[in-house]
Amino acid sequence: MKQYFVYVLASQRNGTLYTRITNNLARRVDEHRSKSYSSFTTKYNVTELVHYETYELVDEAIRREKNIKAWRRIWKLQLIEENNPGWKDLSSGLLD
């Protein structure tokens, strides 16, 4: 079964945030970390996976991504704090 992920990366606690979707979270986080191409995440060193959600339907994931992107910054910070109060990097199990 195909899975889609809405994810939020941060440069540090309360730092720069980046929200996108992917169908391969581990690969995508690794691409951001390797800085293999010039992008927003490379420019602002946004590499810590601080939040992600899983969806079975791509339409649901796209809808959620757009929803989160439209939020005020404080709401995004609250989403992260509710699910990951220590702002731990959630990618450790994904990239091993």
Q: Which residues of 9-26 are buried (b: 16+ CB within 10 A; e: fewer)?
A: bbeeeeeebbbbbbeebe
Q: What local confidence, expressed as pLDDT, does residue 37 receive?
A: 77
Q: What local confidence, expressed as pLDDT, does residue 96 receive?
A: 55
Q: What local confidence, expressed as pLDDT, does residue 38 receive?
A: 74
pTM above 0.85, yes or no: yes
Q: What local confidence, expressed as pLDDT, does residue 39 receive?
A: 87
Q: CA–CA separation, 60 vs 38, rounded Å?
A: 29
Q: What is the pLDDT of residues 14-46, one digit of tens each?
A: 999 999 999 999 999 999 999 887 789 999 999
Q: What local confidence, expressed as pLDDT, does residue 83 receive?
A: 95
Please state the rounded mean pLDDT for residues 69-76. 98
Domains within the chain, CATH numbers bracketed: 4-95 (3.40.1440.10)
